[in-house]
Structure 1
Amino acid sequence: MLSLALGVAALVSPALALTPIETFYPPTLNDTAYISNASIGTYGGVYTAQTRTSVYNASYGVYDYCTMPHPRTQEYQMPAAIASGNVTGKLKFLEYVQRHQRRTPYNIFPYGETAPYECDNVLAYLYAAPQSGVAPVPVYGKTYTDPTNPFVASYIPGTCQYPQLTVGGVLDGVQHGKDLWALYGEKLGLIPKTPDNSIWLRSSESPLTQQSAGGVLRGIWANYTGSLPLMQQTTSVDTVNAGFSCNAKSALLSAIESTDLWNEHLTVTASLVQTLGDITGANTSSWTNTFDHFSDNFQARLCNGYALPCSETDPTSCVTMAQAEEVFRAGDWEWNYWWRNNANVTEYIQMVEGPFIGEILAHFEAVLAGNSTLKYSHDFVHDGDVGPILGALGITQLRWPAMGSNVAFEIWETNDATNKFYARALLSGQPVETIHGVLDWVPLTKLISILKPFVPSDIVALCNN
């Protein structure tokens, strides 16, 4: 756990006097006043990063949307029960769930983008190989803008796909992996020196998670020269990244977004949405019904060294940082509402993430039963997977799971006669603060019981209801 005696104890927000861990848990996040309160700013969060670099520009441990912290040896603290000598034990299993690293935006304004995004220093490899025989040429995609293409005027000139990992994201992934190896490999002796059958690597079908995995795994196994399987389910039935079809989900989400509280948050942000629409031309329902699109566009700009957008027709009319901060607060509010603060949250998490949570629990239960062959499982997924998992844990407040967000489930085997296996759940390196208490050292059976209600007994029947 982060030691506040270290240099990082410096307050990250002079106005709010926040410590790094406090930036993850805005206490008024359930209230729509959180959105419109300009004095909050980013609630100590960081939303900027340098262009084309992985240089970390915030105190370690702070909620940093561009480069989220993760477990590393400098701040990591052993479980108190182990450190004090009250029990002896060793780390038996690690389930590590993370969002991909930073990227270009998904959502482009109707007139396109006035500034080109450059990704010419990222080689997006694209090839398939037979299991044996001739090796293919390792071709990679290199995006270009053809001057004869009549559609480019309303899109984006430059050398990026939308979305794709930027070089800062790739380099951040490598550092992420180096830190995981130093802690869970060298210090705690869990991750093997060379990949073997005790590891399980999983991703969604998205190039974002696959490319992030390449960087992180290189950081973990710096000298490994072989290839590795990255397990994926078929896109149409994938249990992450909203892969499987669930007919009932849209109706439930519609109900969730029809409450008085949801409508109240739209009311308090109506003026902001109107202003942003006037500047950017983005005024269709996909941009105005939630803050997903505006947040995505602004986050991608600031996290890769680009300016906030200006009007296509009036270059003096630009989105201000204060307006972007309100967008980010609204995004945090929405994520907290979707995954923590609505009356149907349990059923919604079941429909979105229940099967994947069930896969994680199967790993836990195998350890508990003494028949697990795995030591280390790493899942490369999306914000839409990390959010519901934290919601299922009962996190007290949920900010938008940012780039590289991570949840480390540690299972420890001890000599405790009452409970042989204990668990910790770390969010970006810190024990998660939840309605069940801080998940720093709980019987594994308790962690399983916390998550179990979010795994439906029959997801097919639930989705067809």
Structure 2
Amino acid sequence: MFSLVLLAPLVYAVNVTHYAPRSTNINNLTYVVNGTTDAPGIFNSSTTPDSEYGTYNWCNMPHVRVNEYVTPSSNYTLEYVEVIQRHHKRTPYASNTFFKEDVAWSCNGSGPAYYAQSTTGPAVSEIQWQASSNPTNPWTDSVGPGFVGSTCQFPQITTEGLFDSYIHGADLREVYASRLGLTSELCTSPAQIRVTNNVITSQVAGGLVKGLFPDTTDAEVLIERSGIDSLEPSLSCTNAIKPGTGDEGAGDGGVWKGHLAAAQSLYDKLDSVSGIASNDTASWHVSFDHYYDNLSAKQCHAKSLPCSLNETDICVTQDEANEVYRLGNWEYSYMYRDSLNSTKYSTLTYGAWLLEFKDHLETAMSISNGTKYFHNVAHDGSMSALLGFLQVSEMVWPGMGSEIVFELYSDADGAYFLRVLWGGQPMETSTPMGTLNMIAAETLIDYIEETVGSGEELYTACMS
């Protein structure tokens, strides 16, 4: 049975022990600001050359596929697989658009579908949303119009993101269908799909399911109601204070404010292009989230970097965009791994999902004919909290389509083992568990139990 060995203990309720990540260029602020002009990966294409597969690709992260997949020894039998992934690429969120945008963004013919159907009711027409605006409405331009005249929802999964979703599903099918006995239809397979309350995860599921189960026409997916959705997550937890908010207590030492101050000249340039400084609030200056999302969404869809609409020859350069991407990855490393409070935050934020996942594992270890494959379509906050809880050795901002796969194996003696794949390869952690490659299943189960505690303990730790 696994028990935590404390080297330099830092313990919170429930029972959180923080193990620092390794030092890399991702979490070295001096390098991030002054050390290079490069991007920390690929930001302009969903395609990664086969020879470079595994490279960080924000537009379409590496995932399990047959080319790189390593099958364990024949002494092991694959019993159950659970996947959790971030949605694929999309438009930016409306809150991340500039006050006025200098590029067009059209979603003609690819709007999200919204309609209800019933097996006992009448046949219905499929309804697709097509965004529109009308200049006669005096409120049309009152709050940051962003992409003027666009036919997109902000956000929505783009046509290119749907294609990535389909390929992702097809790649997973090629690896797991024969190993788990998955049929070509979801409804006849020992499989379940789960999405969050945010509709972009259902949009991704449409492409994913078609790739995974190619003969499926209508699919039922699981969803927890808004407010208690552990996958998103959207749970109320008073004590889950995100590092970087300035309220996380001892140990921060002004690190977060320091990185913002170090990037002030970059903010000045970005603000001169976006128009945010004179039309919005200081919320754009508490992190690089807004600029990161705006610039990366454009570049992933082969759109040009923005220029100012008010002044000529003032444009965001590629070097400046790359610095935004480096700073964004530094921020996620700090929030979910480097801050002394990051593991506590991840545990409180994602503990409920981890308890559900533990139940899935234990059920698969006790029932031979149950669900064999479970797929969760989630968000970057979901992936980050899970990576933070597992204490991955090198943290990045989980890009589009990023994926963690839990593979449960048995041997001839009835023992169970786990392999956890991050980007298609065994995950390296900073914990005593080390690399999660065919470890005893009880090791991870014990880690969840000792860190998260029971459901009652988790709820008390959140709300007390």
Q: TM-score, normalised by structure 2?
A: 0.86
Give the aligned partner of residue 463 of structure 1.
462
1:94 is matched with 81
Residues 55-81 of structure 1: per-residue CA shift (max 9 Å, x gap): 5567322111001121111111112xx
What is the CA–CA distance in structure 2 between the aligned matches of 1:114 and 1:437, rounded to whole Å? 48
Question: Does the C-alpha gap of structure 1 residues 396 and 251 become closer, same or farther in structure 2, counting only changes over 3 Å?
Answer: closer
How far apart are the structure 2 equivalents of 1:175 and 1:383? 20
Q: 2:162 aligns with which of 151, 170, 189?
A: 170
Report how far residue 292 of structure 1 moved.
0.9
Equivalent position of 1:278 in the other structure: 272
**Structure 1 residues without counterparts, runs of 5 or longer:** 1-24
**Residues 71 and 285 of structure 1: CA distance in aligned 2, closer, same or farther (over 3 Å):** same
Query: Do structure 1's residue 422 and structure 2's residue 422 form an aligned pair?
Result: no
User: 1:247 aligned to 2:238?
Assistant: yes
Partner of 1:72: 65
CA distance in 2, matches of 1:57, 1:113: 32
Letter in 1 for 2:309: E
| Number of the residue aligned with 2:219 | 228
SS at match of 2:335: helix
Contact 2:421 2:427 in 1 (8 A): yes
Q: Equivalent residue for 1:328?
A: 325
CA distance in 2, matches of 1:123, 1:444: 43
Q: Which residue of 2 aligns with 1:115?
A: 103
Please give the secondary structure, in 2, of the residue aligned with 1:237.
coil
Aligned to 1:62: 55
Find the aligned partners of 2:98 and 2:227 in 1 and give their Cα distance: 29
Going from structure 1 to structure 2, the CA distance change for 1:179 and 1:305 (only over 3 Å counts) comes to same
Rounded to whole Å, the distance in 1 between the matches of 2:66 and 2:210 is: 18
Q: For the residues of structure 2 that align with 1:390 and 1:108, how far apart are their CA atoms?
A: 25
Q: What is aligned with 2:153?
A: 161
Q: What letter corresponds to residue 422 of structure 2 in structure 1?
A: L
Amino acid of the residue matched to residue 439 of structure 1?
A: L
Alignment correspondent of 1:148: 136
Quick check: 1:256–1:342 contact (8 Å CA) kept in 2?
no
Do 2:209 and 2:216's aligned partners in 1 also have CA atoms closer than 8 Å? no
8 Å CA contact retained: 1:36, 1:326: yes
Q: Which residue of 2 is the match for residue 14 of structure 1?
A: none
Change (3 A) 1:296 1:274: same
User: Which residues of 2 match residues 331-342 of structure 1 at below 5 A?
Assistant: 331-342=328-339
Supply the AA of the counterpart residue of 2:39.
T
Higher deviation after alignment, 368-377 or 261-270? 368-377
* 1:438 paired residue number: 435
Deviations 1:423-442 (A, max 9, x none): 11111211112113221221
Residue 37 of structure 2 is aligned to residue 47 of structure 1: no
Deviations 1:235-279 (A, max 9, x none): 111112231222233487542385322222222212212221222
* Change in CA separation of 1:286 and 1:319 when aligned onto 2, cut-off 3 Å: same
**Residues 91 and 462 of structure 1: CA distance in aligned 2, closer, same or farther (over 3 Å):** same
Equivalent position SS for 2:338: coil
Letter in 1 for 2:305: L
* TM-superposed deviation, 1:453: 4.2
Residue deviations 1:367-413 (CA, integer Å, cap 9, x gap): 23446721000000000000111111121111100000000100111
Residue 111 of structure 1: how far off its partner (Å) = 2.0
Show the counterpart of 1:291.
288
Contact 1:67–1:102 (Cα < 8 Å) also in 2? yes
- Write the mapping of 1:257-272 to structure 2, written as runs, cut at 5 A: 259-272=253-266
Over 3 Å counting, the alpha-carbon distance change for 1:367 and 1:108 in structure 2 is: closer
| 1:349–1:454 Cα contact (<8 Å) kept | no
Contact kept, 8 Å, 1:355 with 1:456, in 2: the verdict is no
> Number of aligned pairs?
427
Task: Give 1:121 deviation, angstroms.
Answer: 3.2
The verdict on how the C-alpha distance between 1:223 and 1:56 changes in structure 2, with shifts beyond 3 A counting, is farther
Superposed displacement of residue 135, structure 1: 1.6
Describe the SS at the equivalent of 1:256. Answer: coil
In the alignment, the residues of structure 2 paired with residue 343 and residue 95 of structure 1 have an alpha-carbon distance, to the nearest angstrom, of 29
**2:404 partner SS:** strand
Is 2:365 the counterpart of 1:368? yes
Contact 1:32 1:264 in 2 (8 A): no
Aligned-partner residue type, residue 101 of structure 2:
E
Deviates more, 1:152-161 or 1:454-463: 454-463
Decide whether the 8 Å contact of 2:111 with 2:153 is kept in 1.
Answer: no
Q: CA RMSD in A?
A: 2.3
Q: Distance in 2 between matches of 1:114 and 1:335?
A: 29
In structure 1, the residue corresponding to 2:227 is in which secondary structure? helix
Equivalent-residue separation in structure 1 for 2:197 and 2:299 (angstroms): 26
Unaligned 5+ segments in structure 2 are 1-21
Three-state SS of the structure 2 residue aligned to 1:169 is helix
- Does the CA contact (< 8 Å) of 1:38 and 1:326 recur in 2? no
Deviations 1:142-196 (A, max 9, x none): 122334344444412211110100100001101111111111113x244333323
In 2, Cα distance between equivalents of 1:175 and 1:208:
17
Q: 8 Å contact 1:111–1:312 — kept in the other structure?
A: no
Check whether the contact 2:113–2:128 (CA below 8 A) recurs between aligned residues. yes
Is it true that 1:390 corresponds to 2:425 in the alignment?
Answer: no
State the distance in 2 between where 1:275 and 1:325 align.
Answer: 14
Alignment of 1:22-37 (within 5 A): 27-37=24-34
User: Structure 2 CA distance, aligned partners of 1:173 and 1:332?
Assistant: 23
Q: For 1:31 and 1:38, how far apart are their aligned partners in 2?
A: 9
- 1:204 matched to 2:196: yes
